[in-house]
Every structure is written in structure tokens, then in C-alpha cells.
Structure 1
Amino acid sequence: MELKKIMKTEILLRICAVLDLVLTACLVRLDTQTKRFTFFDRKATFRDLDALQVLVYVATVAAGYNLLQLIKCSVSAAVSFEGNWKGSYLYLAWVCFLLDQIAVYITFMANSAALQASLLAVTGAKDFQWMKLCNTFTRFCVQIGGSLLCGYMACLLMAFTSSISAFNLFRLYSPKRFLLLKGS
């Protein structure tokens, strides 16, 4: 009964993570703002900062990965594992655990890089003669800030999912096996 609650929690966390990641990618990708200057128009898009482009791609791939894991969780919740499944499931549990860890770290890295680049756009850099872009494109910067908040929320949800994945992996090992390994 306890494993069913854990499985339902994992499914709920993955659904929320997919929604947050899709929201992050859409907010960053579709965010544009055009300002009319004296003789020309200047348009701010996600393509102006390489870190925002990377964030869109990473959030999209992470959402796809979590969607695949969600399908796996739904199928494994519907099928009862009985008999001698522990050996083959152990390898799958290791792969899922490692992929969950990789997804969390890469998503966190992409969000942090986008945050750093966005802070540079907010503060500017006098030494390099870079102006503060957010004084000119305020709506664009506010929407990017909201998308970064969604991205970090997705990272947090995926970290919780990764801890459930770790639990699912390490519950397959018996305490007797660890004691035999420890004594060697």
C-alpha cells in the first residue's frame, strides 16, 4: 500500500514538472518586445542571449524526458510486478535514477546560466559599455524573470522526483547483501 502512495506522488510530481518545464520553454521562446527608437525598431527576443536559447532547448528535452518517465510510471503502476523481476528491474531502476539526476543537474545549470545572463542584462556592464537592457525592455525582462522562476520550480520538483527514484532503487537491495559487502 505504501508503494502505491509513492508511485502516485511520483506521477503527480512528474506531471507538475512537465507543466512547469513546458511553461518555462513557452514563456522564454514566445517572449518578444519591440521598441521604436528615432529611426529604427529594436526587437528583444530570446535569441539575444545564448543562455536563453539553451534554456529553451534544455527545458523542452527535460519535459520530454519527464513525459516518457511519466508513461513508464503509469504503465508500471498498472502492471503488478510479481515473480522473479527484481534482477531486470534493478538495471532499469539504476538507469532511471541516473537519468533523473542528469536531468535535474542540467536543467538547474541551464536555469542558472540564463539567470546570470539575465542579471547582466538588468545591471549592464560599464567596463564593456553594455547598457542596461531592462530599462528599455521592461515587459520582456519581467516575463523572462517569471519563466526563470518556473524553471527553478521545475528543478525543485525534479529533485523531489529524483529522491523518489533513489528510494525505488535502493529499496531493491536487501540489508543482508550490504552487510556481506561491508564485511569484505
Structure 2
Amino acid sequence: MDVQKIEAFVRVWAALLLLLTACLVGLDTQSKYIFYVDRKITYKELHALGALVYVASAAAGYNLLQLGRSVFVSRYLGNSKGSYRYLAWVSYLLDQMVVYIAFGTNSAAVEHSVLALSGMKEFQWMKWCNKFTRFCFQIGGALVSGYAACALMVLATSISAFNLFRLYSSEKFLRLKST
């Protein structure tokens, strides 16, 4: 397998996992009667989960755009290193940004989910997962899916770095000066 096929495979799976994350969180809802009141819980109750839906959707779209860029570059630009060098830098830097933002958003969602799991006596926050177990399990699955997508995006960023730095000549790369 060549590098482009591996990159396409990784990006497609990252996009699918990110879409799975967004769907699991965005469509998760549970209703329960608590003290004779119908209480409905959704991802909008925790702001980090709302941000996770938007960031995961945007990151999935970005990976699909990068997949299209990869096909375009291989098909139409070929081996022209001069014009591709700037595109490779932009691609690499954007890959880095998307991975960091997706990982940070996923980590913030984990932090808020831990508060929903354990509660906080000082603020009189109840433990949601005692009452809404299906909701919490589905959010947990979404977070695992989000971290798996982040790992795949790290791999895609590594491939992007390889594609960038192979454009530079290795004649003077890390060469010691002769005396």
C-alpha cells in the first residue's frame, strides 16, 4: 500500500468515527420521572457536550475535505513540488489545529461527564448517571469514539508531516559542517 491509500483509509475512518461521536452525543436524550416531574436530559445540559457535537462535525467535514484535496493533488498536480509545497504546509498546520481542537473538546466533555457521573456536593449538583444510565453509557461510547478518532487524526497528521518533509532535499539536511 502506498502512502496516499493509507492516508485515505485513515481519514475516512476518522471522519466516520467523528460523525459517530457527533450523532451519539447529538441524538442522545432520556426522559424520566423524578419527584413526579418529567425530566428530560439532552446534550444541551452540558455545554461541553454541545461544543463536542459541533467540533466533531466540523472535524469530520475537514477530514473529508482533506481527502478530496489529496485526490486532487495526486491527480492534477502530480510531481510539481513548487506549488505543492505551500499547500503541504497549510495542510500540515491545519491538521495540527484540528487534532488539538478535537482532542481539547473531547477532554472538556470528559471532564463535564465526570461531574455528571460523580456530582458535586458543594454546588448541590446531583449525580445524573444514577438517574439517567442509558444517557451516560451513550455519552461514554461517544467519548471513546472521539478519542479513537483523535488517535486516527494524529496518524493522519503524521502522514501529512511525511508528505510535507519529503518535498525538501535531503542533501544538506542535518549535515555537520566540515572543518
TM-score normalised by structure 2 residue count: 0.94
Q: Distance in 1 between matches of 2:81 and 2:71?
A: 19
How far has the Cα of 1:114 moved from its partner?
Answer: 0.1
Partner residue in 1 for 2:13: 16
Q: Distance in 2 between matches of 1:74 and 1:19?
A: 18
Contact 2:77–2:84 (CA under 8 A) maintained in structure 1: no
Partner residue in 2 for 1:55: 52
Overall identity of the aligned pairs, in % = 57
Partner residue in 2 for 1:110: 105
What is the root-mean-square deviation in Å for CA atoms of aligned residues?
A: 1.5
1:150 to 131, 145, 159: 145
Gaps of 5+ in 1: none
1:135 to 88, 109, 130: 130
Give, as a single letter, the amino acid of the residue that structure 2 aligns with 1:20.
Answer: L
Partner residue in 2 for 1:73: 70
Q: Distance in 2 between matches of 1:104 and 1:176?
A: 32
Partner residue in 1 for 2:82: 87
Deviates more, 1:43-52 or 1:85-94: 85-94
2:161 to 158, 162, 166: 166
How far has the Cα of 1:178 moved from its partner?
Answer: 3.3
Structure 1 runs, 4 residues or longer, greater than 4 Å off:
none
How far has the Cα of 1:139 moved from its partner?
Answer: 0.2
Would you say how many aligned residue pairs link Structure 1 and Structure 2? 177
TM-score normalised by structure 1 residue count: 0.91
Q: Distance in 1 between matches of 2:174 and 2:48?
A: 47
How far has the Cα of 1:175 moved from its partner?
Answer: 1.8
How far has the Cα of 1:78 moved from its partner?
Answer: 3.2
Give, as a single letter, the amino acid of the residue that structure 1 aligns with 2:116.
Answer: A
Give, as a single letter, the amino acid of the residue that structure 1 aligns with 2:97.
Answer: I
Counterpart secondary structure, 1:174: coil
Contact 2:55–2:105 (CA under 8 A) maintained in structure 1: yes
Counterpart secondary structure, 1:15: helix
